[in-house]
A = this chain, B = another copy of it.
Amino acid sequence: MYNKYMDKKISEKVINRLTLYHCILQDFIDKKIEYISSKQIATLLRIDDSQVRKDINLLNNSGKSRVGYIVKELKKSIETTLGFAKTKNAYIIGAGNLGMALAKYDNFTSYGLNIINLFDNDDSKIGKSVNNKDIINIKELPRHTKENDVDIAILTVPGKFAQSTAEYLVSANIKYIWNFTPTVLNVPEDVQVWNENLMGNFLQFTYNI
């Protein structure tokens, strides 16, 4: 079978939009609505509906009828294309409010992100659990990454501990860091960092206010 999505590299912007379409489709399913038009999606996101159609054309989506896309089919197409089925295991580093919030965010699982454990150095947190995920002493991280073959870490420690913690993660063989701290990390070339630059996002949003 010919799968369009196996041949085309999907750009970051398209991936981002597809996940937003996915949120809308989930909402339509919850409301038991069976069909959706590109126009409906476009209106909610305030983008052009030709853009929506173009993005959807990148998918291996067959569920199109005269009354619009079939919501469940389109949702499944997005999941297949973006590889939601290919679960990625990750650890949360830092069991503060942000770490806890992310651990409780059940939506992650349906997008193929499986948070296994949280790690912290605070004795008052170690041994507790949140959303069925244990909070473990950070000293035990190297053993865990090895045993569970996890190489993704979600970094939520306070900014002043970010660099030293990142170095520790690297020494424990973490290769991908999703960085929620306001610190730019200095790590070896073979380690990839995604900066969740919250203030940058806010400033983009409010620049013209």
Contacts and interface: CB of A to CB of B under 8 A. Distances in A.
Contact of A205 (B44, B45, B105, B178): B178
A204 B16 contact: yes
B88 A209 contact: yes
Contacts of A198: 105, 196
A29 to B, nearest CB: 13
Interface residues of A, number: 54
Interface residues of chain A: helix, strand, loop or mixed (majority): helix
Contacts of A100: 97, 101
B203 A176 contact: no
A178 B202 contact: yes
A163 B184 CA distance: 34
A7 to B, nearest CB: 15
A186 interface: yes
A48 to B, nearest CB: 15
Contact of A97 (B20, B83, B98, B184): B98
* Copies of this protein, total: 2
A56 interface: no
B97 A104 contact: yes
Contacts of A45: 184
Interface of A: 10, 12, 15-20, 23-24, 27, 44-45, 82-83, 88, 96-98, 100-101, 104-105, 107-108, 111, 113, 152, 156, 159, 163, 176, 178, 182-186, 192, 194-207, 209
19 contacts: A18-B200, A19-B200, A23-B183, A27-B163, A27-B183, A83-B203, A83-B207, A88-B209, A96-B104, A97-B100, A98-B98, A98-B101, A100-B101, A101-B156, A107-B159, A113-B202, A152-B206, A152-B209, A176-B209
Which 3 A-B pairs rank lowest in CB-CB distance, beginning with the nearest? A97-B101, A19-B200, A98-B101
